[in-house]
Amino acid sequence: MRKLFTSESVTEGHPDKLCDYISDSVLDAYLSEDENSRVACETVAGKDTIFITGEISSKANIDIEKIARNAIKEIGYFGKGIDIDYETCKIIVNVSKQSPDIAQGVDKSLEDKEGLNVESEGAGDQGIMFGFATSETEELMPLPILLAHKLSKRLTDARKNGEINYLGPDGKVQVTVEYDDDKPVRIDTIVVSTQHKDGVLLEDLKKDIKEIIINEVVPIELLDEKTKYFINPTGRFVIGGPFGDSGLTGRKIIVDTYGGFSRHGGGAFSGKDPTKVDRSAAYMARHIAKNIVANKLADKCEIQLAYSIGVAKPVGIYVNTFGTSSIPEEEISDLINEKFDLTPRGIIDYLDLRKPIYRKTTNYGHFGKEYLPWEKIVDFKDL
């Protein structure tokens, strides 16, 4: 049975990703000076104004405005009337300390308070998190989102290294893959919308994007004469970033994860320190799912973890291998419980999450990058 599946990615200059990057830059700055910082940083961008809010408790003394301006500069927004200007834009900082009602549950878990031999912090919030892996690519990621990320990153690289010197920071990519019996067989459609300087001919842009971006990223065997290309289909994309649309931290959660190929619990990642299980438990769920596939226990795996605020251990663990497992799913669940400490402290220690690594995660997906700790492949026998 043949069917089509589509995933989207965006470049780091997209207004939502600009906000994610500012929030993660603030987080990394605090963790660099105080690894026990509690950070929940949200950013809003609109026109020439950046609004940063949230709850931060830390021993560190950070110049949040300076961090934000530097993040905007790194992405490549320099004003000139059509973009936000990192030097002159208005930045409003409205940050308070973490609520003591939340802190009391994070500082000491319910199990610890009740003497249940669980010496760990409690989860920073209630919620559900999903992790996913599939054997259809070397990275154990779904092909549509993997290609979309590679294309959007290639757009940024070509802009920054001058290969295409008229591109702007903002952009979107969409890839539609045709599956036959759940196996990817070809690319049906590629959509690329990229910001560009005024005066660039659409014909030149289409040619450059096809030759320098698409043909260098997408395996030629997945393209055929029926593959459709939509490159800047509106015809013009000069005004970008917050000047073109407002931005908000956490609004690209499907881009950040599996492109819609797996379920999502709804919690965003960027700007949150690892005591927030929205982030750390989602990373751990990916690590477990990836290693179930890497250890040949299944060809496809989805893990759900569920937490209650102030409680250390997950209230639920769910395993779905979509009928591809080599052993019963119940045995996989038992293996997870045996091998992994899924309390917040257990996850933080196992994945070494108190380091300032989060700006590396902001763009082009939080998963599938081999240098991130939750992407490491381990032999279950060695755990």
For tokens 């994007």, the residue is 209
Instruction: Please state, rounded to an integer, the average pLDDT across all residues of the chain.
Output: 93
User: What pTM, to 2 d.p., does this model score?
Assistant: 0.93
Q: Are strands 38-46 and 167-180 parallel, antiparallel or unpaired?
A: unpaired
Distances (CA, A) of 89 to 68, 77, 82, 170, 297: 10, 11, 13, 18, 52
Pick from 141, 133, 175: nearest CA to 287:
133
Structural domains in the chain plus CATH codes: 2-11+143-241 (3.30.300.10), 15-99 (3.30.300.10), 127-136+251-382 (3.30.300.10)
Residues constituting the chain = 383
Give the tens place of pLDDT for each residue, 97-124.
865 655 555 555 445 555 545 556 777 7
Give the tens place of pLDDT for each residue, 275-289.
999 999 999 999 999
CA atoms of 24 and 37, how far apart (whole Å): 13
Give the tens place of pLDDT for each residue, 208-217.
999 999 999 9
